[in-house]
Structure 1
Amino acid sequence: MKMLQIVGVHGIRQGKSATTDALSRSWQIPVDEGLADAGHAEAAGPVRLTVPSYQGVYPRTATRYMRLGPDTAGQDRDAPVGEEEEEFILQALAAYAPSALAEEDDSPLAGETLGPGESRLTPRILRRARAVDRVAGKGVTDRLLWLVREAHGYLLQEETGAAVRAEIRAALTATDARMVIAHSLGSVVFYDMLSRGEVAAGADGSPAVTSLITCGSPLSWLAVRKGVHTAGAPLAVPAGVVWTNLYAPYDPVNKFRGLSHLAAGVTDAKVDNGKLNAHDVRRYLDKPAVAERIAKARAL
């Protein structure tokens, strides 16, 4: 039986050791285990995951909230957030928890008193982050800021976005994969590629990729979507692409819910990733919903 090729699109916090080979192996194991546990291994046949690493083309941001890309000798690790990025972060946090705006402390000294590790953030960000924590739960923004800063780099730095998409296109071309699994910010990247028409077309003119699985997606955030989507319109993928979205109730990145309330044609699958590290990609990949979708992709 011919190998079923799947391309994975990874999310944030990939260190310099996260090469394509290392990422591919780390995704392959839970997928294989999930297929076996769900009884779909025989129907799926041989499956190969290729997860291209884009950490080599992603610029390094010198804060504790993002450690990506190659090391740069002498780079200031404590560089503060710039004005443009500050505004992006503020909008993203507001979109994540709109009700937090009413909780924000607007007194003159609010945000001026810094806690451990907060010296790289601005008072405005600190005020909003603390308000979001009051609404969404203590420590939520510590996890979200990794995502928000990397989303800024992808969405608002065109050269960075183009380089990331080029890595994914190269993997799709090399493998001839018809299925993509995208995790976290990876779902934004691949949705962007589909929206831009950057996914190669099949013989009938529709995208060559016919099956898409997104996991722990932040696409529901308006501040993230605005870079890849028209406000007021439903999220949608091209005709011929079967879209399944996995979400975990304790995953803060997907805002504890799916995408079907915002997207046309998506099938949401609620999964149990536990309460700790619910956003971990490996906790999504071994789920029966992924195994079932892979088995069905083989049958197409």
Structure 2
Amino acid sequence: MARIVGVHGIRQSMTSKTQLTEDWSRALNRGLSEVGRPELSAGALELPHWTGLLARGATHLGSEEDPFDASVPLSEEEADFVAMALEDVVRQEDLARVQQLGLQTLGPPQLWPARLTRLVMAFDRRFPRGGGKLFVRAMREVRLYLYEPDLAARVRALVTEAFDASISVVLGHSLGSVIAYDLLRRGEIAPERAAVRTLVTCGSPLAIPSVRRGLNIADGEPLKLPGDVAWINVFDPADFITGGTGLSAFSPEITDAEVSNGVGDPHSAFRYLRTTPVALTIADGSR
């Protein structure tokens, strides 16, 4: 079975590499068991804990106060990016409906410019149960990676340390899928260091044009990977971070696998990791 580098997503600053590895391994093993495949061997999963680097001003890993919490006001740059990302994914009929309504309070008024409030209200019509607020928080963290190049380089360098010649699969969830893709497309994993054959992305925001633009990918430009790397993208249409869509429309080389993670938290890493498409790809270790 393949050895794997996992790249975790948002909101992991209060956990640890050890805990994340245990949790991801448990979820992956559940999926493998359900498809009748052997569980991961000891040490099969490398899961660098990069998230502490995203704390504003942080130069080391560790528990930090969450800089993306709802109590932390959005900067002008954050509000603009989140609004553009929402404009990419809200349905026009929902936005038109919201325009007819009075603004609702989504939090302290100073945190929610009117433009953003309307977009969040429109987004909630498609993704209820607070999807809009969760999207705002997630996109703030995504933006920090996209528009702080020195910080992003440190994140990629930390993830790169997890690779060795036995690694053949990269598995990224949420913002981790963006980081994994960015790392591979830049060629920062030398072929002699690891023979990566497969990229698996789960709950990826790469379907959102504003996110791709943050990677300097022009509208209409396909998502590409160097070499002969197979790309499997797993998504739940109810997942608010994906905008409800897969990635195959952005490249003929990407294979989408649609799953249903339930109503509680369709973006959950652990629900994605235990799905059949992830299990089969991990078990095969290659195309």
SS at match of 1:26: helix
Question: Number of matched residues?
Answer: 279
2:111 is matched with 120
Deviations 1:123-167 (A, max 9, x none): 332122123223554622112112110111010111221121111
Deviation at residue 249 of structure 1 after TM alignment: 2.6
Q: What letter is aligned with 1:184?
A: S
What does residue range 216-295 of structure 1 map to in structure 2 within 5 Å? 216-228=203-215, 229-295=217-283
1:82 is matched with 75
Residues 55 and 64 of structure 2 are in contact (CA less than 8 Å); yes or no, is this contact kept in structure 1?
Answer: no
Q: What letter is aligned with 2:3?
A: Q
- 1:213 and 2:200 correspond: yes
Quote the sequence identity (%): 35
Residues 10 and 51 of structure 2 are in contact (CA less than 8 Å); yes or no, is this contact kept in structure 1?
Answer: no
2:86 is matched with 93
SS at match of 2:248: coil
SS at match of 1:6: strand
Deviations 1:220-265 (A, max 9, x none): 1001111222321122222310111111132122222321122221
The change in CA–CA distance for 1:131 and 1:294 in structure 2 (over 3 A counts) is closer
Partner residue of 1:8 out of 6, 9, 16: 6
TM normalised by structure 1 equals: 0.82
In structure 2, how many angstroms separate the alpha carbons of the residues matched to 1:289 and 1:56? 30
2:99 is matched with 105
Deviations 1:45-93 (A, max 9, x none): 66621211112211249xxxxxx96436xxx984422222221111111
Q: What letter is aligned with 1:34?
A: G
The change in CA–CA distance for 1:46 and 1:35 in structure 2 (over 3 A counts) is farther
- 1:180 and 2:180 correspond: no
In structure 2, how many angstroms separate the alpha carbons of the residues matched to 1:115 and 1:254? 22
- 1:148 and 2:145 correspond: no
In structure 2, how many angstroms separate the alpha carbons of the residues matched to 1:10 and 1:118? 32
What does residue range 25-64 of structure 1 map to in structure 2 within 5 Å? 25-41=22-38, 48-60=44-56
Structure 2's unaligned 5+ residue stretches are none
Q: What letter is aligned with 2:18?
A: D
Structure 1's unaligned 5+ residue stretches are 62-67
Larger Rg: 1
Residues 95 and 118 of structure 2 are in contact (CA less than 8 Å); yes or no, is this contact kept in structure 1?
Answer: no
TM normalised by structure 2 equals: 0.86
